Chains A and B, each alone.
Chain A
Amino acid sequence: GAVVSQHPSWVICKSGTSVKIECRSLDFQATTMFWYRQFPKQSLMLMATSNEGSKATYEQGVEKDKFLINHASLTLSTLTVTSAHPEDSSFYICSAWDSTLDTQYFGPGTRLTVL
């Protein structure tokens, strides 16, 4: 079946540094990918929609200058958390929309801890 990968699976960084997370669709092309954030024991909250070749669409309350999204190819989207702070610590999950199967596949997630 379709597989979506994320890298890294976990990262620890110091406050003030930037962290890049990659999301790849491994066996299908995804013009649309999504980035979610999940705090402990909570549901997934959509952060932004990443569209290949165009600017990402951010949900209300999500700072686009802090969470930079790039979708440079049909199989890769990146999320960069700039000037990370401890409150950015969370589980970040990407997903990719497979239009041929009408379904969304989720990556394994990236656990970010900001010290």
Chain B
Amino acid sequence: ELKVEQNPLFLSMQEGKNYTIYCNYSTTSDRLYWYRQDPGKSLESLFVLLSNGAVKQEGRLMASLDTKARLSTLHITAAVHDLSATYFCAVDMEYGNKLVFGAGTILRVKS
């Protein structure tokens, strides 16, 4: 059974600081996704990582994937308040099929 673990589950950080959210998964998968969810809203796709060593960046967020270590990271650079949200990683159980989600990381950026 595929398990996806995220940590930390809650992150409070000051504006301007850097931090990393980690996502570990238990079985082989080559597809990992990062999503953002604002309160009361659905999921917004941030990144799709499809191969070992993949790195993608969008603004202050950068995601990477190490399939050998079964680890993905979401790095936040110089955080701003607008980044406050819940971030989920999700892993494909099968190609084009079911996603297993991590528990989510609640990020609060304080001014």
- Cβ of B68 within 8 Å of any chain A Cβ, yes or no, is no
Looking at chain A's contact residues, the main secondary structure is strand
Alpha-carbon distance between A111 and B41 when the two chains are bound, in angstroms: 10
CB atoms of B41 and A109 under 8 A apart: yes
Known: A43-B101, A43-B102, A43-B103. A99 touches B96 (CB 8 A): yes
Classify chain A's interface size: 20 to 34
Residues of A within 8 A of B100 (CB): 46
Alpha-carbon distance between A54 and B48 when the two chains are bound, in angstroms: 29
CB atoms of A43 and B98 under 8 A apart: no
In angstroms, how far is the closest chain A Cβ from the Cβ of B102?
7
Which 7 pairs from chain A and chain B are nearest by CB? A109-B42, A106-B43, A108-B42, A43-B101, A44-B101, A106-B42, A43-B103
Report 30 cross-chain contacts, Cβ distance below 8 Å, ordered by A residue: A32-B97, A34-B98, A42-B104, A43-B101, A43-B102, A43-B103, A43-B104, A44-B43, A44-B88, A44-B101, A45-B101, A46-B98, A49-B97, A49-B98, A93-B42, A93-B43, A97-B96, A97-B97, A99-B96, A102-B48, A102-B96, A103-B33, A103-B45, A103-B48, A104-B99, A105-B45, A106-B35, A106-B45, A108-B41, A111-B40
